[in-house]
Structure 1
Amino acid sequence: MKRILRLMLTAAGPYAPQFTTTLRISVAAAFVQAAAYAAFIPLLAALAHDPVRTGRAWLWIGVLAALVTVEGILRVREAAFTYDHWHLVTQATRLRLGRTLRSMPQQELARRAAGDLTSVVGANATMAATAISALSTLFVQLVTVPAVLGVVVVALNWRLGLVLVVATLAALPFVRQVQKRSNAGFRQVNEADAAASDRIVEYVQGLPVLKATGQAGADSPRLMPVLTHQHGAQAAANRSAAMPVACAQLVVQLAVVALAAVGAGLVLDARLSVATLVAVVVTAARFAEPLSLAATMTKLFELSEAALSRVGDVLQVRPLPVAPGSTEPRNFDIRFESVDFTYAGQSETTLEGVDFAVPERSLTALVGPSGSGKTTITKLMARFADPQSGVIRLGGLDVSTLDPDDLLRHISIVFQDVYLFDDTIRANIALARPDATEAEIEAAARAANVHDFVDRLPKRYDTRVGEIGSALSGGERQRISIARAILKDAPVVLLDEPTAALDTESEVVVQQAIDKLVAGKTVVVIAHRLSTVVGADQILVVDGGRITQRGTHTELLADAGGRYARMWSAQLAARDWHLPLHHKQ
């Protein structure tokens, strides 16, 4: 319970003080409830006395009424948190998760599957809020009421109390088994749910490809294995705890029978009155009911614990540290100084001893084979991660002294794979500057060669682009992303081969848009087509995580045996490739 309580306090966030107060109220209400049940013992004793002790009976009826009234008031205050704060806790938890995801290092974010994070922010956050608002108070009641009633029975007759103590000790191993099996089972269910969610997202997005390859439908090999695994995990979690729950409930019920038997023996020996025995048996039933229910509810508590753990796991991810002394860069040159970098979970170094400078208002191209480290270099420039050793500077400042959000205000990034949100063209362009005027948005669109095709659409800038921009062509999506970058007007521009996947006509239009974007900026471009960067101020050849060559296009071609010259020759040869005119059978 300490572990779950700690997770609850973490998930409660800003509402932790109200949650703590509610738990105290719940404990008080449980004590009052137990006291009300205990009041039946002297009440029945007064009524069973010969003659009836009327005065004592009315006294205990009054006490019982007072206790019930106090419990009702406390329960109303307890319920206020459940009904007034449940949705607030849910909202606050999701907002905190959103802030954590926003500040999470990109390397850590990329490690987590989209479906997994969807489950955490969706179902797990809801379950965590439910656990905080409702299950926590239920747990307090299920534990506190039997404990108090057990003490009352022990005080009344130690022999009867001993029966309850022994029964409780006998039931605990079964309850622990339920906890252990349910905890492991529901963790597996959560992982299976996350995997299924992620694969469903992939299935929907990749449906055209799956149809084309005959892999769509009920027996899709991309979807069915994870759904089968999910079903198996759910069934296993339900089955695993069934026997311990039944055993725990059986022990509790047998305890009531044993209590009645022992009590009957004491009555026959004239060491206990019949009225007291009846009162004790009624009290024991109230003792047994919460314990029996607790054995069943343990599965739900462990399900909550699994959800709380997943929410807590995300909330505990720390953002990239910001060293003291943060200031604004005065210029926008970039420098790498002996940078080494290895991705988390990998033993092979991605970058080793990378050292170069990008002068302000210049164009630097990164070229080299796939997997050589080019994209990693640009990610480190944007501080999506920090190197294990070495320093990266912007305007002379170590980027580790800059908050990632502040750093990214100075950088525009145009990716090869454009992501547009299912919103209007206007909203997607204005993403970089939500306060931009209509005139500024249109000016950026004109500069990026967006305005002409938008002007032909029925709703113009209010046209929705579809999920991930599916209603537009690749070239149109890329031009919108460039318009977004133009509107941002950042002094540093990073381009990850923005024309690689475009046809020749689209490439020309997009290249014209890029020319307007990079004018007067510090530009770093990843290039696969060397013909697009022959005019770069410097070209860095990246191979095996190192800078193996640097210079202008002419200087690098002069080294006939160098990597760049070989790449240039290979691309020239590829231009002459063509399909055979006649296909021989």
Structure 2
Amino acid sequence: MFKSLKNILNVCGTHKKRIYGGIVCGLLNAGFNSLSVMAFLWVLMHINSLNMTVIWQTTGILAVALVGKIILKYLINMFLAAAGYIVYTDKRLELGEKLKQAPMGYFSKKSLGQINNTISSAMTDLENGTMIAVENVIGGLLQSVAVSVFLIFFDWRIGCIAILGILLSMFSLTLVQKKSVQFAPERYRIVEKTTSDILEFIRGIAVVRSFGRKNGNELDKSFEEFQKVNTAMEISIIKPHSLFRGTLYIFSGILILVSSFMTFYGMLDFAYGMMFLLSAFIIYGQIELLGNGTFLLEQVETALSQLEETFKIPEMIGKAGVKPENFSIEMKDVEFGYDSRTILSNVTASIPEKTSCAIIGSSGSGKTTLCNLIVRFWDVKKGSITFGGHDIREYTPDELLSYFSMVFQKVYLFNDTIENNIRFGKPDATHEEIVAVAKKAKCHDFIMALPNGYDTVISESGSSLSGGEKQRISIARALLKNAPVVILDEATSSVDPENEADLLDAIKELTAGKTVISIAHRMNTIRDADQILVIDHGTIAEHGKHDELNNKNGIYSRFLKIRSNAFGWNLLN
């Protein structure tokens, strides 16, 4: 329990003062609770000589206690509740920054459910539960101890019974906590798996229905496993939880019986006896509050561990302020692979500034991987890639990407207006600038035909638009960014002939005067490129211009001869 509180304080960082402020207020609040007991005692001591003076004195004590508790409760909420939201807002932003700096390999290894569970579920558990747990644990502990110490001054025997009950209750709480902590990692694992399976089912619902299948066994298995883990955890804590409750009620009963016995036999003044009876309910009510806080701390501790693990994301760091001397790209002896599987090896190539380079190769040969390495979505395993005379590892990821515009085969659009989707390329762009690039990208006309024009909200992933429309919005976004290097990852592969001419015109606008790298599948794109890289089994098998490669009678030449029937090549006539 105290270790968990220490971990929470460590997470709070510069906001620790708020926690300390809440603890101090909790201590003062315990004092005002004792003041309420004193008011009750004061009345009982003067029960036989009750007069207005005693009534006014008692009313004054209760008023001070009530006002003090109201003010302190407000301050506790201000310190602790506000601290929870502030701390974990900062943590969300910090985690977002770390995810931005993470290599793409991290996202391929981690499932969407795992990442979502950390950012959403675990962070929400921490945000909502941390400060409530701290308030309940600190408040419950301080107030029960304060009242018990208060009782010692009147009768050490009663006070010792109360403190012994507190100690035994806390011991049983540690047993509950240990059992819960044992199951917590497994519980989070199955929550992550269930979340992943649900997301996968939702994404693949069309495929499931098209084959007339039900939602699959994996999701059912996840739900069953989730139920088993939770049931096992609940069963495991029944005994220690019953011990905690039993200890609580037994010592509460002992305190009441001893107080009644001593009062009945004249060993205690009646007023003191009644005060001890009232105190028994206060003490063990606060211990119950402490127990509730401890149960919350278990969830918080596990969520903190998960958060700490997530913050171990490998970062792609660089030096701030590195500027390219030009916009050329050099690759030397580049090697890269996923885990033990090599994707690219001994890749050496040069792409001069303001030239075009077409990359072709069979499916899975490493074309997209090479482009991803150029923009440092991953770091190379061996060799080097330089941009503008500097190794790309010298740039921070944000600085490097500021020089690149990318148009992907699979376009992702945000669930926002069309204007804001285009503005993503330049956040401070005016409406006029957005309209101008939309016209260049040949998407202005279809945008204006929509009910709300540029204010039309696109459904998630842009499913309300055709493939060609999404591509042209993506190109408008890249035009607005106006980066000196453009990477086209099979940007026209899935476009119908009706939209192809407009899309090619848009690409022509985008690439004018730029360094251009195209993962190509159209003959015109390949033939007009300043150089062609032919990738075969992860290496550059051939490179040169169209006529040069065609005359070599190599892979490229053979491909041209059989291109209409070639299997596995992403090239179309």
Distance 1:27 1:559 in 2: 86
AA paired with 2:106?
Answer: E
Distance 1:175 1:567 in 2: 73
Of 392, 400, 408, 1:399 maps to 392
In the alignment, is the contact (CA less than 8 A) between 1:530 and 1:568 conserved in 2?
no
Secondary structure class of the residue paired with 2:528: coil
Distance 2:373 2:559 in 1: 26
Q: Which residue is 1:333 aligned to?
A: 328
Give matches, 1:226-245, under 5 Å: 226-245=222-241
Q: Which residue is 1:440 aligned to?
A: 433
Q: Which string of whole-angstrom CA distances, capped at 9 and with x for unpartnered residues, describes residues 248-276 of structure 1?
A: 11012212334456667878998766665
Of 339, 348, 361, 1:368 maps to 361
Change (3 A) 1:327 1:297: closer
> Over aligned residue pairs, what C-alpha RMSD do you find?
4.0
Distance 1:69 1:45 in 2: 23
**Bigger shift: 260-269 or 126-135?**
260-269
Correspondence 1:536 to 2:532: no
Give 1:396 shift: 0.4
- Where structure 1 has 5 or more consecutive residues not aligned to the other structure, the ranges are 576-585
**Bigger shift: 240-249 or 64-73?**
64-73
Of 548, 565, 570, 1:573 maps to 565
Secondary structure class of the residue paired with 1:498: coil
Q: Which residue is 1:578 aligned to?
A: none
Distance 1:237 1:493 in 2: 54
AA paired with 1:414?
Answer: V
Distance 1:58 1:393 in 2: 84
In the alignment, is the contact (CA less than 8 A) between 1:359 and 1:522 conserved in 2?
yes
Q: Which residue is 1:295 aligned to?
A: 291
Q: Which residue is 1:321 aligned to?
A: 317
In the alignment, is the contact (CA less than 8 A) between 1:391 and 1:398 conserved in 2?
yes
Secondary structure class of the residue paired with 1:471: coil
In the alignment, is the contact (CA less than 8 A) between 2:136 and 2:293 conserved in 1?
no
Distance 1:79 1:331 in 2: 56
Q: Which residue is 1:251 aligned to?
A: 247
Give matches, 1:385-464, under 5 Å: 385-464=378-457
Give matches, 1:84-483, under 5 Å: 94-153=92-151, 160=158, 163-164=161-162, 166-215=164-213, 219-221=215-217, 223-259=219-255, 276=272, 278-314=274-310, 317=313, 319-323=315-319, 326-343=321-338, 346-483=339-476
Distance 1:9 1:383 in 2: 36
Secondary structure class of the residue paired with 1:534: helix
What's the TM-score, normalizing by structure 1?
Answer: 0.81
Give 1:470 shift: 1.1
Q: Which residue is 1:36 aligned to?
A: 35
Give 1:331 shift: 0.7
Q: How many residues are matched?
A: 567
Change (3 A) 1:245 1:40: farther
Secondary structure class of the residue paired with 1:432: coil
Correspondence 1:521 to 2:528: no
**Bigger shift: 376-385 or 447-456?**
447-456
Distance 1:442 1:61 in 2: 72
In the alignment, is the contact (CA less than 8 A) between 1:322 and 1:403 conserved in 2?
yes
What's the TM-score, normalizing by structure 2?
Answer: 0.83
Q: Which string of whole-angstrom CA distances, capped at 9 and with x for unpartnered residues, describes residues 253-302 of structure 1?
A: 21233445666787899876666555445434433222234334433332
Secondary structure class of the residue paired with 1:573: coil
- Where structure 2 has 5 or more consecutive residues not aligned to the other structure, the ranges are 568-573
Distance 2:417 2:248 in 1: 62
Give 1:504 shift: 4.2
Q: In percent, how many aligned pairs have the same letter?
A: 31
In the alignment, is the contact (CA less than 8 A) between 1:199 and 1:226 conserved in 2?
yes
Change (3 A) 1:68 1:473: closer
AA paired with 1:27?
Answer: L
AA paired with 1:339?
Answer: V
Distance 1:462 1:271 in 2: 82
In the alignment, is the contact (CA less than 8 A) between 1:420 and 1:465 conserved in 2?
yes
AA paired with 1:484?
Answer: R
**Bigger shift: 333-342 or 516-525?**
333-342
